[in-house]
Amino acid sequence: MSPRGRRPAGADTRGSIVEAARAEFASVGYAAASLRSIARRAGVDPALVHHYFDGKPALFGEVMILPFSPAALLAQLRSAPTDQIGQTLARNFFTLWDGPEGRVRLRAIFASVLTHEEAARPIREFLTDEVFTQVATRADGSALPLAEAKFRGGLAAGQLIGVAILRYVAGYEPLVSASVEDLIAALAPVLQGHLVVTRSDDAA
């Protein structure tokens, strides 16, 4: 650790970077924000941002107070065998949101997206640019056209988001009391079908 920025590393440096990131994501969205532009806004050297945070996804997770590490999730999705992508996504999703802290946070995110357009933008860009595009373009080992990958990613995201709303927010009963394992078993094949183009799809 060798801070050499415009400002000494200190107890509140990390916090000021998070605040700058929050402002930057809200102002320009996830895609256009960079660790450099966030550093500039925080008035610190970019190396300090790299010191505290393992990349933009990690900083986003901190800003959103996500109950998990987006970087770790992305690594898991990248390393999952192609035929396990639906399963990996479903297991991560429900494991991460199913605790009390996750539920509260998820509800806050939904409410924020519905009431503020500017709150929706970084979230949808994070989903688009990091999570679903990356997953969907892996389809069966060969890259899909980006537009199709994003479309398919949206269908999968929609399936998870809708079930999460019914389970965690609206209290639709059979989904509330269902076990995480039942939900994974029911949804993994659907997510797999959305995200991964199989040879039989090509033939059809």
Residues 30, 122: Cα–Cα separation, whole Å? 5
Per-residue x/- track, 122-161, its own copies (CB under 8 A)? -xx--xx------------------x--xx-xxx-xxxxx
Contact status: 162 vs its own copies (CB under 8 A)? yes
Which one of 79, 81, 117, 203 is in contact with its own copies (CB under 8 A)?
Answer: 117
Q: How far is the C-alpha of 113 from the C-alpha of 107, rounded, in Å?
A: 10
Q: Using the Cα atoms of residue 66, residue 1, residue 33 and residue 143 in order, give the sign of their dihedral.
A: negative
Q: How far is the CB of 175 from its own copies (least distance, A)?
A: 4
Tokens standing for 27? 């102002």
The piece of 2-10, 47-55, 80-88, 163-171 that touches its own copies (CB under 8 A) is 163-171
Strand stretches in 104-171, DSSP E: none
CB of 11 to its own copies, least distance (A): 36
In eight-state DSSP terms, residue 151 is H
Distance between CA atoms of 136 and 139, rounded to whole angstroms? 5
DSSP 3-state of 132: helix
Q: Footprint of its own copies on this chain (CB under 8 A)?
A: 107, 110-111, 113-115, 117, 120-121, 123-124, 127-128, 147, 150-151, 153-155, 157-166, 169-175, 178, 182, 186-187, 190, 193-194
